[in-house]
C-alpha cells in the first residue's frame, strides 16, 4: 500500500494544480476562439474564463475525482474536460470550428513553452536550487517540469486526428467547404468516440516516449 508521505502529498498537490490550470486554459481557449468565431455556447456557460469552477461544474469527475484517484493509485494524473459548442455553427463555419478545436492544444503548447522559459531563465539566474541535504530539486523546479511534461502530453495527445480528440475537428481547416460537410456527415453521424479513443491511446503509448525525448532534448538540453 502506498505511503502518504509529505513528499507524495506535495507532489500530488503540484500535479493537481498543474492539471487544473492547464485543463482550464485548454477549455477556455476553445471557448474564447468559438466566441470570436460567432458561437457563444461555451461563453454563456462561463467557460471563457481561467476560473476553474465553471469547467469543474461541467465535468466534476474528469476535473476532480478521476485525476486525484489516478494519482493516489498510480502516481500519475489523468482526467478530462469539455467545452460545449453549437453543431449548427460548426456546420455553417467548419473552418472556424477547426480553429476552435486547435485552440486547446495551442494553449497547452504555450504553457509548455512558458515552462521552458521559466526553467532556462531560472537556471541561468540561479533561482532553481536543489536541497543540499536531500539532493532533491526545489519546488519551483519540480513545478516547472510538471507543467512542461503535462502540457506536452496534453497538447500532443489532443492533436491526434481521431474522434473525440481535437485533431479530428482541427483538420477541417485544410478542407474545402464541400469536403468539410461530407467529413462532418461521417464524423458526427457515427459513434466512433470510444473506438477512436482506444486507437489513440494504443498509438500514443507506442510513440509518445519518442516525442517526449525529442522535445526534452531540443528544449531542455542541459537543464535536466
Q: Is there a contact between 83 and 112 (Cβ–Cβ < 8 Å)?
A: no
Q: Which of 3, 7, 27, 40 is catalytic?
A: 27
Beta bridge partners of 137: 130
Q: Is there a contact between 212 and 111 (Cβ–Cβ < 8 Å)?
A: no
> Which grid coordinates belong to 102?
486547435
Burial 70-79 (b: 16+ CB within 10 A, else e): bbeeeeebeb
Before 119, cis peptide (omega within 30)? no
For the CA atoms of 215, 26, 172, 90, the dihedral, rounded to the nearest 10 degrees, stands at 180
- 27 is an active site residue: yes
Beta bridge partners of 130: 137
Active site residues: 27
Amino acid at each position: 500500500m502506498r505511503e502518504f508521505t509529505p513528499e507524495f502529498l506535495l507532489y500530488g498537490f503540484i500535479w493537481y494544480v498543474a492539471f487544473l490550470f492547464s485543463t482550464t486554459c485548454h477549455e477556455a481557449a476553445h471557448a474564447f476562439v468559438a466566441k470570436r468565431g460567432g458561437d457563444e455556447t461555451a461563453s454563456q456557460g462561463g467557460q471563457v474564463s481561467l476560473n476553474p469552477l465553471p469547467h469543474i461544474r461541467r465535468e466534476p469527475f474528469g476535473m476532480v475525482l478521476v485525476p486525484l484517484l489516478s494519482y493516489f493509485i498510480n502516481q500519475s494524473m489523468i482526467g478530462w474536460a469539455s467545452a460545449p459548442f453549437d453543431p449548427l455553427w460548426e456546420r455553417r463555419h467548419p473552418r472556424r470550428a477547426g480553429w476552435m478545436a486547435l485552440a486547446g492544444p495551442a494553449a497547452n503548447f504555450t504553457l509548455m513553452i512558458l515552462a521552458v522559459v521559466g526553467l532556462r531563465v531560472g537556471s541561468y539566474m540561479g533561482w532553481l536550487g536543489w536541497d543540499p541535504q536531500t539532493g532533491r530539486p526545489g519546488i519551483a523546479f519540480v513545478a516547472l517540469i510538471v507543467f512542461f511534461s503535462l502540457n506536452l502530453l496534453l497538447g500532443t495527445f489532443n492533436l491526434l486526428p481521431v474522434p473525440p480528440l481535437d485533431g479530428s475537428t482541427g483538420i477541417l481547416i485544410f478542407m474545402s467547404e464541400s469536403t468539410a460537410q461530407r467529413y462532418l456527415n461521417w464524423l458526427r453521424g457515427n459513434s466512433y468516440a470510444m473506438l477512436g479513443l482506444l486507437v489513440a491511446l494504443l498509438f500514443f503509448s507506442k510513440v509518445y516516449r519518442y516525442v517526449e525525448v525529442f522535445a526534452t532534448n531540443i528544449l531542455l538540453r542541459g537543464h535536466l
